[in-house]
Amino acid sequence: TQYALLLLQQGVTRDDVVTLVGKNQVETVLFYLAAQQLGAITALTMPQPIEALQGKLCTLYGDHQTRFVWFTPDCEFAYSSEEKAALNAIFLTLPTVDTVVENTEDDYQHDRLASIVFTSGSTGAPKAVVHTHRQHLASAEGLLCEFTFHQHDTWLLSLPLYHVSGLAIVYRW
């Protein structure tokens, strides 16, 4: 709820695209879940040269859409101030200890667009692939039919969240 409120305060609303750039961090999962709570779509992408990131942002956002971007702490300083300014984005920040938590309305729906991940680009430019919650959950249920898990079991998040198989681990949880 704290992260959802923070996204709301920074202007994120239903159907907005929130781009998370970086490697696996707890905060990445929290931002992802908060965006889902608001009905926003989360695009996950790896750290990369600024030109490649700019290309992905052009794919994700129309000319008049607000670009919401968050960098994991490990890659935030990989880009200069000038490079970040050229992205023409609102850079999301983490909640502080002082953030007042209010209830936010839950806008989660199974058939709502949930995530955008990019293909590897092995046959050309990486392509954006969109998934709904229902698709992610069907994938998780299929795997869980083969493995028996209990409420207190854990699963190592061994793949990057910007890969569909890494994101699938979150949905199995």
Higher pLDDT, 36 or 107: 36
Is 92:68 a contact under the CB 8 Å cutoff?
Answer: yes
For the chain, the average pLDDT equals 89
- Enter the pTM of the model: 0.88
Q: Which of 14-28, 34-48, 65-79, 152-166 has the lowest mean pLDDT?
A: 152-166
Instruction: Tell me the per-residue pLDDT of 63-112, one tens digit each, with 9 for 90 and over.
Output: 999 999 999 988 988 999 999 999 999 999 987 755 555 656 666 778 88
All structural domains of the chain with their residue ranges = 2-133
- pLDDT value for 11: 96
- pLDDT value for 68: 98
Fold entry, domain 2-133: Rossmann fold (3.40.50)
pLDDT exceeds 70 at position 162: yes
4: left (phi over 0), alpha (psi -120 to 50) or beta: alpha
pLDDT exceeds 90 at position 59: yes
Report the alpha-carbon distance of residue 5 to residue 1 in Å, rounded.
6
State which of 1-10, 39-48, 109-118, 130-139 shows the largest mean pLDDT: 39-48
Higher pLDDT, 60 or 148: 60
- pLDDT value for 102: 60
The rounded Cα 164 to chain-centroid distance in angstroms is 11
Q: In what order do the strands lie in the sheet with 90-91?
A: 90-91, 68-71, 17-21, 41-45, 113-118, 128-132
